[in-house]
Copies of this chain bind each other. A is one copy, B any other.
Amino acid sequence: MVLSLDRLNKIRSIDTVANTMVAEAGCILGNLRRAAEEKHRLLPLSLAAEDSCQIGGNLATNAGGVNVVRYGMARELVLGIEAVLPNGEIYHGLRTLRKDNTGYDLKQLFIGSEGTLGVITAAALRLYARNDARCVVLAAVEDPASALKLFEFLFGVCGGRLQAFEYFTGACVDLVLEQVDGVQDPFPQRYPGYVLVELADTVDIEALNSQVEVAIGGSLEQGLCVDAVVSTSLAQLQSLWRLREEISEAQRADGPHLKHDVSIPIERIPDFMLAMETKLHKMEAGVRPYIFGHFGDGNLHYNVSRPVGADKSWSTTAGKALTTEVLNEVLRFGGSISAEHGIGQLKREDFLETKDPLELRLMLEIKKVFDPASIMNPGKLL
């Protein structure tokens, strides 16, 4: 059974004083973002699927995306929720209050519960000031450790302006240039790694640009990056983003592959990447890891493509053992086997096997409180 909320598609209110938006669950995320923008406000949740995904699903899965480093996950944008429980009762939690310390924060349970406790029908979301000044830097780095130092330095100087800090390997750039038309590499040579940084502010693009110039100058001087391009127009900004955004498309064009959406304690990413790559190549020579993701959140899309010449069935046969290895290594590094994509059916077995038994027991008992007959989204998550 599939439940469609397509017709719950009304924006009930946008308030530029309280900075809130109340929207029904079936609203398309991109439409909500544009509606906020028209009122000079920002709904910061932004991800590749924003013009097809619905806000109800975004909240049920606690979506992430490219601006998490500044604005947090979907969870952090929620002030209130309306949901229908399995017995038909309505949870009337659609409050827009910023502060409400009256008991347990029940809405938090629905967020990220993947539809296992009830159906979210509407949400009150937090809006931010619109950023009319944007600047993107593409920096070439020697290795992930330099990328980390660059992050530390830029965060200290630019603070809240830093709204994306994405990392990808040179191999990703090669693949994008090979598989996707019209993408340009702004550098004359290939580097081991790249960092795409977006900075944004409410007003004054000149002040932002000059701050970025000083910060990048300092980074180059300290050897945190080895080359850098700063966007000077919106077209160039978008062109730089394409190098990052087309990686998934390039991998798709290259054929079936293993996807791992994992997170690692940020400071341990370089060690993880080194250890993981060594292990992969020991397990199977020629496998091609394409590593990219939201570095500033410790979130890597650690994808692995088949060796050149291997059969397309590889990802569902020989490759499967690699997935187990990747997830186990993530756990050894204190990470999470699902950073922003959730558990669903695909990771359910891994989840049930690896989650702390106490946490699992508490989750199952909470599930019983909301859904004693266990009719909500069976076979997913729990």
A residues at B contact (CB < 8 Å): 15-19, 40-41, 61-62, 64, 68-69, 72-73, 75-76, 85, 89-93, 95-106, 108-109, 111-113, 117, 128-131, 148-149, 151-152, 155-160, 201-204, 207, 211, 263-267, 294, 297-299, 334-343, 351, 355-356, 358-360, 362-363, 365-366, 369-370, 381-382
> A64, A99, A207, A358 — which one has the most chain B CB atoms within 10 A of its CB?
A99
Q: Given B64, B112, B130, B160, which contacts A129 in the complex, CB threshold below 8 Å? A: B160
CB distance from A143 to the nearest CB of B (A): 15
- Taking a contact as CB atoms under 8 Å apart, the answer to whether A342 and B101 are in contact is yes
- Taking a contact as CB atoms under 8 Å apart, the answer to whether B265 and A338 are in contact is no
- Taking a contact as CB atoms under 8 Å apart, the answer to whether B16 and A340 are in contact is no
- Taking a contact as CB atoms under 8 Å apart, the answer to whether A101 and B18 are in contact is no
27 inter-chain pairs at a CB distance below 8 angstroms, sorted by A residue, are A15-B266, A16-B156, A17-B148, A17-B152, A17-B267, A91-B359, A97-B264, A98-B298, A99-B294, A99-B298, A99-B340, A102-B336, A102-B337, A102-B355, A103-B112, A103-B363, A104-B109, A104-B112, A104-B362, A104-B363, A105-B109, A105-B111, A108-B109, A129-B159, A130-B156, A362-B369, A362-B370
- Taking a contact as CB atoms under 8 Å apart, the answer to whether B101 and A336 are in contact is yes
A17 contacts across to B, CB distance below 8 A = 148-149, 151-152, 266-267
Known contacts A109-B108, A207-B207; A103/B355 CB under 8 A: yes
Known contacts A356-B92, A369-B369; A339/B100 CB under 8 A: yes
A19 contacts across to B, CB distance below 8 A = 155
A351 to B96, alpha carbons, bound, how many Å? Answer: 19
A103 contacts across to B, CB distance below 8 A = 112, 343, 351, 355, 359-360, 363, 381-382
- Taking a contact as CB atoms under 8 Å apart, the answer to whether A99 and B68 are in contact is yes
A338 contacts across to B, CB distance below 8 A = 100-102
- Taking a contact as CB atoms under 8 Å apart, the answer to whether B152 and A336 are in contact is no
A148 contacts across to B, CB distance below 8 A = 17
Q: Given B95, B113, B201, which contacts A334 in the complex, CB threshold below 8 Å? A: B95
A18 to B297, alpha carbons, bound, how many Å? Answer: 8
- Taking a contact as CB atoms under 8 Å apart, the answer to whether B266 and A99 are in contact is no
- Taking a contact as CB atoms under 8 Å apart, the answer to whether B152 and A297 are in contact is no
Known contacts A129-B158, A266-B17; A98/B359 CB under 8 A: no
A91 contacts across to B, CB distance below 8 A = 358-359, 362
Chain B residue at smallest Cβ distance from A356 = B92
Chain B residue at smallest Cβ distance from A19 = B155
A96 contacts across to B, CB distance below 8 A = 265
Given contacts A17-B266, A102-B343, A128-B160, 12 further A-B contacts (CB under 8 A): A17-B149, A18-B298, A68-B99, A85-B358, A90-B358, A98-B298, A103-B381, A109-B109, A128-B159, A129-B157, A157-B203, A362-B370
A42 to B127, alpha carbons, bound, how many Å? Answer: 23
- Taking a contact as CB atoms under 8 Å apart, the answer to whether A297 and B99 are in contact is yes
A18 to B295, alpha carbons, bound, how many Å? Answer: 10
- Taking a contact as CB atoms under 8 Å apart, the answer to whether B18 and A265 are in contact is yes
- Taking a contact as CB atoms under 8 Å apart, the answer to whether A299 and B112 are in contact is no
A294 to B99, alpha carbons, bound, how many Å? Answer: 10
A358 contacts across to B, CB distance below 8 A = 85, 89-92
Chain B residue at smallest Cβ distance from A201 = B159
A338 to B105, alpha carbons, bound, how many Å? Answer: 13
> A68, A90, A263 — which one has the most chain B CB atoms within 10 A of its CB?
A263
Q: Given B104, B130, B343, which contacts A366 in the complex, CB threshold below 8 Å? A: B104
> A15, A64, A92, A100 — which one has the most chain B CB atoms within 10 A of its CB?
A100
CB distance from A274 to the nearest CB of B (A): 17
